[in-house]
Chains A and B, each alone.
Chain A
Amino acid sequence: MNAVAPARRRGGLFGRGHPHRGPLLLGLPTIVFLLVLFAVPVVQFMLLPVAEGTFEPYVKALTGRLYLQVIWNTFEIAAYVTILAFLLGYPVAYFLTVAPPFWRLIGFFCVLMPFWTSILVRTYAWMVILGRRGVLNEALLALDIIDKPMVLLHSMPTVLLGMVHVLMPFFIFPVYGVMQRIDMNLVAAARGLGAPDWRVFLRVYFPLTLPGVLSGATLVFILSMGFFITPALLGGGRVTMIAVLIEQYVNKFLNWEFAGALSAVLLAATLIVYGLMKWALRGDKRW
């Protein structure tokens, strides 16, 4: 009995009895903080209709033509943003992985600087650039390339541009993390075994980055679905995403029950996407 005792005494500072007690205690302040200030209010908000004794807002949110259209819009935009983040971010992540130290530093600076800048500031910056009397229009007018200002704001491409700009780092970092751990001997081996470069990429390199791509894409997709500031400002009411709609029901129509129902739908959609990603990565354990 005595011989076994030392092995059982885990959990360090706090835990003698239960092995998980120490970590649990350390996490307690955060858990309480999140429960009281986040989880409880959010759940309360989403359950507002239930508190009123009705399920009708949920049904409406899931069946009303307008709302379905908005939910579909949201998915569509999130999908476009994710695809664009992949197409633009993947090469950047690769560059950061293989670049010599100086260029890697420059690369990280270019990715991180905007990342650390407030979303609001960046979104307003796009408005300054793309506005009717914005930098771009003025420049093109001055160069006589166009003869009257183009309408660039309040359109789908602009919203996508702004969102991709904000969200790309969320794609780049997980992919970079995975790329860094790829054994470049595998690439050498594939080449040595007779694979031309494009097949090395398709058969070996890309599949190995897939876990990073999937987590990055999920992150971007989920964040896109709940995105508010950028679509609200750059979309100017013409591009409606679900978060914008929720805000309107809270602030304009003062219909909190319906806003809560819409939020529940958004949360459910988010969880489904997250679950799909987990399912897609389930095979990861084998290697």
Chain B
Amino acid sequence: MSDLSLTGIAKRFGEVVALDHVDLELQRGELMTILGPSGSGKTTMLRVIAGFEIPDAGDVTLRGRDVTLLAPAKRNMGMVFQNYALFPHMTVADNVAFPLQMRHKSRAEIRERVAWALDTVELGGYGKRYPAQLSGGQQQRVALARAIVFDPELLLLDEPFGALDRKLREQMQLEVKRLQRRLELTTVFVTHDQEEALILSDSIAVMSEGRIEQLGTPREIYARPRNRFVADFIGESNLFRGRVAAIQGDAMTIETEQGETLHAEAREGLAAGDAVNALIRPERPVPLADDDPLDAPNSFAGEIREVVYLGESEKYRVALPSGLEVLLRWPGQGEDRVRPEGARLAFRFEPHDLHVIAADGVGEAAGGAAGHGAGTAT
């Protein structure tokens, strides 16, 4: 049985629909990320789970118990806030002891649990300090210790890494993930940062306009996005509008608006003439040598319009003769192998790597017209 389940959760604020009948299920020990741009309803979702908002419709069930109307104080959920929300007038130890004191634990037990929690986040000697005397990363750990010290049934993380600088953020992400695994904490994590979502999650729910656009593992979401919104929101992408030109056995060809022909694997539910979006991730194509022939499927050559050097990788924007532009991302080259702007670049990719999305799918047109039910793609 699932640890946390949300069924048909709906919430409006005046005219604004924040949540449009959302369903979610988390298994024991699962870390699910709710990912979406601001205004997608992800924060409202977290607040509904935590009990700070009562939904207009739907149920929240925690370990088989209906908690939809239960006050936050009675839910037994540990939450880490965006700005940590540490009590500034209490020492680190008092902050961590707070949820235990609220549960009327004995002094001895409180002392023991606080020591355990602070050790767990590697802040053993810091109990007597005040939050203001700690660095951002340390404050974050205290918030985490406070959220896990009372053995909560659910851990909620509300964009907890936003305030940290990049290096520290990555370090904390991995630490949180390890901790969450070790303690088998069922966790809901809210963020707008897709990279963070990919790093941390067992599963990702991509939200937009109060609906779940897609629910799946990080790999599924990245490689097989269900619609244009998800493809666009997660990672970098080349998304080409076009039509299915022909289907032969398990292969099909797609003709883009610019007239290029792309080869893909045939997909159920698509017929010749259907409008589609073809997605190729920028790292999938491989470079071809200048004298390689361009007769294999999905082989192209064009002119480099822009080079962005990122150290470990570099990006090229390549314009094909038809006008179609393709973004490529390959490992960064040494000084001796520079590909300059204006140079010719040839590349090829496997039909398998071209992911085809039916264009009448939802979230397709900008602003996403028709609604599909909440996602349970897995």
Contacts and interface: CB of A to CB of B under 8 A. Distances in A.
A286 B130 contact: yes
15 contacts: A186-B87, A186-B88, A188-B52, A188-B81, A188-B85, A189-B79, A192-B50, A192-B78, A193-B99, A194-B76, A194-B102, A195-B102, A203-B87, A286-B133, A287-B131
Given A194-B76, A286-B130, A287-B131, A186 B85 contact: yes
B103 interface: yes
A193 B71 contact: no
B73 A194 contact: yes
A188 B72 CA distance: 9
Contact of B98 (A190, A196, A210): A190
B89 interface: yes
Contacts of B50: 192
A18 interface: no
Contacts of B133: 286
B72 A192 contact: yes
Nearest to A283: B89
Given A190-B87, A193-B102, 19 more contacts: A188-B52, A189-B81, A189-B85, A191-B71, A191-B72, A191-B73, A192-B72, A192-B73, A192-B77, A193-B78, A193-B150, A194-B73, A194-B103, A199-B102, A203-B87, A207-B89, A286-B130, A286-B132, A287-B89
A283 B146 CA distance: 24
Interface string A209-240: 01000000000000000000000000000000
Contacts of B85: 183, 185-186, 188-189
Interface string A168-196: 00000000000000010110111111111
Contacts of A188: 52, 72, 81, 85
- 8 interchain residue pairs of minimum CB distance: A287-B88, A194-B102, A189-B85, A193-B99, A185-B85, A286-B130, A191-B72, A192-B79
A193 B100 CA distance: 9
Given A191-B72, A203-B98, A286-B132, A208 B89 contact: yes
A183 to B, nearest CB: 7
A277 B50 CA distance: 40
Contacts of B98: 190, 193, 195, 203
Nearest to B156: A192
B238 interface: no
Nearest to A197: B73
Contacts of B102: 193-196, 199
Contacts of B82: 185
A204 interface: yes
B73 A196 contact: yes
Contact of B99 (A194, A196, A210, A286): A194
Is the interface on chain B under 10, 10 to 19, 20 to 34, or 35 or more residues? 20 to 34
Nearest to B71: A191
B83 interface: yes
Contacts of B83: 183, 185
Nearest to A208: B89
Interface string B76-117: 111101110101110000000011001100000000000000
- Chain B CB within 10 A, most for which of A183, A192, A199, A207: A192
Contacts of A208: 88-89
A188 B43 CA distance: 14
B89 A193 contact: no
Interface string A250-287: 00000000000000000000000000000000000011
A287 B79 CA distance: 22
Contacts of B130: 286-287
Nearest to A207: B89
Nearest to A287: B88
A19 B75 CA distance: 57
Contacts of B150: 193-194
Contacts of A210: 89
Interface string B9-30: 0000000000000000000000
B357 to A, nearest CB: 39
Contacts of A194: 73-74, 76, 99, 102-103, 150
Contacts of A287: 88-89, 130-132
- Chain B CB within 10 A, most for which of A189, A193, A204, A286: A193
Contacts of A185: 81-83, 85
Interface in B147-167: 147, 150
Contacts of B146: 193
A286 B203 CA distance: 41
Nearest to A185: B85
Interface in A8-24: none
A143 B353 CA distance: 92
Nearest to B132: A287
Contact of B73 (A195, A203, A204): A195
Nearest to A203: B98
Contacts of A286: 130, 132-133
Contacts of A204: 87
B184 to A, nearest CB: 21
A137 B11 CA distance: 56
B130 to A, nearest CB: 5
A283 to B, nearest CB: 9
A202 to B, nearest CB: 12
Contacts of B52: 188, 191-192
B110 to A, nearest CB: 13
Contacts of B89: 207-208, 210, 287
A132 B83 CA distance: 60
B95 to A, nearest CB: 9
Contacts of B147: 193
Contacts of B132: 286-287
A207 B87 CA distance: 10
Interface string B277-321: 000000000000000000000000000000000000000000000
